[in-house]
Structure 1
């Protein structure tokens, strides 16, 4: 990555780095350390950090969520209020200019709620949870940049990400917003080295825990006791991953007690939230409530089949009768997805496959073609159960119903899967192919969980199929 002689880069140089940053991201292979394959069935198991990176790259803009925010005011003196415009936040003029350069017209829901507290004086700690695509990164980046005192030439802000690529992503956002200010940023990631005995004069360090520990403890190129803002991005991954947790805890113990702490993540399970609240003193906790599990505009069906071949025949029958805009078909394994793609291609269907062995670059190419309508059918594993919005998707097929590691119904994944249709207020169709009593039990469990009828569909009856497409 091109840098100035001191091996640093200013925010104003962001544009020069864009192509090289893009190459770094494009060359990332999620298969490298993200997806494991079980000995028996080849089930895709995505690395949470890599999955988060893919979501950030997939997003073309902020998603429009109907969800409400659950705000737990653990500090009774919190000035928490909602800012409907960026001007209300009283940002420094150069940062406000950078925000608008990002084409942000108004704060997203997580931004309008979190930023007034993050920018208030005295500084307040926060644990925030909001789904992918809602603007979390920009929220904490704006807060970070606002806390910088450019008259002090030493690191004041420390932001940790679980992987090299996610750190680059965060740094890219920070550089764009700060492009009109004199704020200097530094990556503390693999490949970045500092001379022994030197001292950093950058204002913000964005990096991974291992490299940050090396720079602060081993090489002492910056004084961690002067850090005034500490940010954990993808906090659930950082806390739940044993190696990261140990490193983050060591870093946390070295920062001053007066340091403002910000933890941001898309998800927190109970144990992770408990640990977060243990290490963050008197936090304001903000949670974006789960989107209403309303499936009113998605009609659900199930088809009884004897085996995989009958499942395929059911798909053929459905395609032969009703007009389908675009469809996403979910399979449990890469092997099944590949088998189905070959069968459908031979029968003349325009098919794309997206699964875990593809690099990010390959995945994005597949998604771009599907969005453009060049392929009508996208066959995928759970790697795409959430995060893609394609208006033309009219039908979702669960070739295999989603189950957890114990083989029980995975209702959350089911909701995300079939939620790929029925978007933008349109009607959608979800069809579940059931080939055993076990999968029938999974289907019944899902039906009971959501309280929405899953109708029996006779895939051999063309008149019945025609009705679902009308």
Structure 2
């Protein structure tokens, strides 16, 4: 089925999801559904998976996709308001389009429904409204779904796997693969929590460090893991019989194909499954490479995807400030912050060193400042963002690790202390849009201020103006009245 097939658009409304308990990855994995079956090193600790392509990140300006996905999972405790629409593309366009507004309509097993409510879910999110009836339908239907972290998609396919399991059968029936050790644990935790009242459903983690005895067959009905280890369990150790898998879930497909080796491993796993196996694929983005991969893995799918919406700058006023050197940039920033009524602000720097210097100097000026950069662990970053979202710090100084995916309604000012440029020194328009898009959210007015300290940075401003066809106004931060007039 092509991407341009028959479509029905439905609005995405604000919904809420429960807070998922943060998992301490340094500890052993504790099991809710059944006994422990993870084996690690001689001390019983799980060994971190090395499947991820974890190359250097340069000077802290970027973060790999797997880390960004995990960060989003940790910080998105509730669904943000979303003006996007969803397109539902059905394999059979003559079939009625089903959706549900309550979990009761899905006719779940009582113990599973109890688990859903115990997690704090009150009603299905939009992705769940449309995906779950398709996933749970009889006969089984395949699905390709575009869904970002925070939309309830992990809970959707976790619920599907738990519903799908026949507890009388003591072999693996549902197989889910994720790109990294940490993402696999996050998904497994959701399955465990949702299956709290399903004691006969067993879960195993196919991750490095979980060494299983050779010559046995797993009795756990659900297995979640990373591609390399799952492939070994299916082929090398024969712990899983792929022909008995009746539901296959491939999560974070865009991250998967960007990670060295994972794409080929995923396809090798898929080739061992039967044609009758139900295939579910989820991805945050639907670029051409993801589509090609999805079409190779999922035959005759139903498709749920975000309807592309043009990003707008209508609610953001853009300015630039001419400075002679770094010290002038800092003085202008202090003048700006002292003259405007600002709820919260985000300040972007090009390097970790600059971000650290700026944060230290702002703290000396008695500002409540949080620092976020690439050398921090994902959990440390999540904790910093959580404090900022809760208003414990009013200013967040960061590199590009924070340019995407953070929705804080109180952010009214974004400052590009260093303008975003690509490897060739030209304007990085996409990064610019993501940066200043942290303000002016939810229809509120926001301000974006760019610091210009050279002829080349002024050229970057002109490039940005031309790209977006928007005028960026010069702002004199030494003139309080002018600032007040321009920002009205």
Under a length normalisation based on structure 2, what TM-score does the superposition of the two structures give? 0.85
Deviation at 1:131, TM superposition (A): 2.5
Please give the alpha-carbon distance, in whole angstroms, between the structure 1 residues aligned to 2:425 and 2:290.
Answer: 24
Contact 1:67 1:292 in 2 (8 A): no
Contact 2:142 2:299 in 1 (8 A): yes
Aligned to 2:33: 11
Aligned to 1:21: none
Query: Does 2:311 correspond to 1:293?
Result: yes
Q: Which one of the candidate residues 47, 53, 56 is aligned to 1:36?
A: 56
Aligned to 1:193: 211
Please give the alpha-carbon distance, in whole angstroms, between the structure 2 residues aligned to 1:256 and 1:28.
Answer: 31
Query: Does 2:369 correspond to 1:351?
Result: yes
Q: Which one of the candidate residues 44, 52, 67 is aligned to 2:69?
A: 52
Change in Cα spacing, 1:327 to 1:97, as seen in structure 2 (3 Å) is same
Q: Which one of the candidate residues 282, 286, 292 is aligned to 1:268?
A: 286
Deviation at 1:158, TM superposition (A): 0.4
Q: Which one of the candidate residues 336, 339, 354 is aligned to 1:321?
A: 339
Instruction: Give a deviation string over 1:410-468, Cα, whole Å, max 9, x none.
Output: 33333332232233443221112233444344434444444544322222322111235
Please give the alpha-carbon distance, in whole angstroms, between the structure 2 residues aligned to 1:34 and 1:54.
Answer: 15
Structure 1 window deviating more from structure 2 (97-106 vs 397-406): it is 397-406
- Map 1:46-445 to 2 at 5 A: 46-76=63-93, 79-181=96-198, 182-445=200-463
Please give the alpha-carbon distance, in whole angstroms, between the structure 1 residues aligned to 2:48 and 2:79.
Answer: 23
SS of match in other structure, 1:170: helix
Change in Cα spacing, 1:333 to 1:173, as seen in structure 2 (3 Å) is same
Deviation at 1:388, TM superposition (A): 2.5
Contact 2:344 2:412 in 1 (8 A): yes
SS of match in other structure, 2:371: strand
Contact 2:71 2:379 in 1 (8 A): no
Aligned to 1:20: none
Deviation at 1:79, TM superposition (A): 4.8
Aligned to 1:462: 480
Change in Cα spacing, 1:84 to 1:447, as seen in structure 2 (3 Å) is farther
Contact 2:49 2:208 in 1 (8 A): no
Which structure's residues are more often helix, by fraction? 1
Structure 1 window deviating more from structure 2 (347-356 vs 166-175): it is 347-356
Contact 1:28 1:361 in 2 (8 A): no
Deviation at 1:70, TM superposition (A): 2.2
Contact 1:293 1:450 in 2 (8 A): no
RMSD, matched Cα? 2.8
Please give the alpha-carbon distance, in whole angstroms, between the structure 2 residues aligned to 1:2 and 1:35.
Answer: 26
Question: Which sections of structure 2, spanning at least 5 residues, go unmatched?
Answer: 1-26, 39-44
Structure 1 window deviating more from structure 2 (235-244 vs 300-309): it is 300-309
Please give the alpha-carbon distance, in whole angstroms, between the structure 2 residues aligned to 1:121 and 1:253.
Answer: 23
Structure 1 window deviating more from structure 2 (376-385 vs 448-457): it is 448-457
Change in Cα spacing, 1:149 to 1:403, as seen in structure 2 (3 Å) is farther
Instruction: Give a deviation string over 1:377-416, Cα, whole Å, max 9, x none.
Output: 1100111112323333221111123334444433333333
Contact 1:12 1:178 in 2 (8 A): no
Please give the alpha-carbon distance, in whole angstroms, between the structure 2 residues aligned to 1:151 and 1:199.
Answer: 15
Instruction: Give a deviation string over 1:51-74, Cα, whole Å, max 9, x none.
Output: 111110011212221210123334
